[in-house]
Structure 1
Amino acid sequence: MSLLNSIDRDHVLTAIETWDAAGGANYMLVRGGVSTHVLLHLGREYDAAAIAGIAHGLATGRTLTPADIPGGSAGASKALTRLGFEIRDETPPAERVPGTRPSTRSSTSRTRPAAGRNTGTPRPTRVAASDKPDTLCPRCFIAVPATGICDNCD
Structure 2
Amino acid sequence: MSLLNSIDRDHVLTAIETWDTAGGGNYMLVRGGVSTHVLLHLGREYDAAAIAGIAHGLATGRTLTPADIPGGSEGASKALTRLGFEIRDDSPPGASKSRLPTANKRTGTPRPTRTSRAASPSTPRPRPAASDKPDVLCPRCFIAVPATGICDTCD
Determine if the TM-score, normalized by the shorter chain, exceeds 0.5. yes
Query: What is the CA–CA distance in structure 1 between the aligned matches of 2:95 and 2:23, rounded to whole Å?
Result: 34
Cα deviations across residues 118-148 of structure 1 (Å, max 9, x unaligned)? xxxxxxxxxxxxxxxxxxxxxxxxxxxxxxx
Partner of 1:39: 39
Query: What is the CA–CA distance in structure 2 between the aligned matches of 1:6 and 1:32, rounded to whole Å?
Result: 24
The offset of 1:77, in angstroms, is: 0.2
Cα deviations across residues 65-101 of structure 1 (Å, max 9, x unaligned)? 11110000000000000000000001234437xxxxx
Residue identity over aligned pairs, in percent, reads 92
Partner of 1:63: 63
Q: How does 1:67-106 map to 2 (within 5 A)?
A: 67-91=67-91, 92-95=93-96
Larger relative contact order, structure 1 or 2 (CA cutoff 8 Å, min sep 6): 2
Partner of 2:7: 7
Aligned residues: 97
| TM-score computed with the length of structure 1 as normaliser | 0.57
Bigger CA radius of gyration:
1
Q: Is the 8 A contact 2:31 2:65 kept in 1?
A: no
> Unpaired runs of 5+ in structure 1?
97-154
| TM-score computed with the length of structure 2 as normaliser | 0.57
Q: Is the 8 A contact 1:28 1:35 kept in 2?
A: no
Describe the shift of the 1:29–1:53 C-alpha distance in structure 2 as closer, same or farther (beyond 3 A): closer
Tell me the C-alpha RMSD between the 2 structures: 2.0
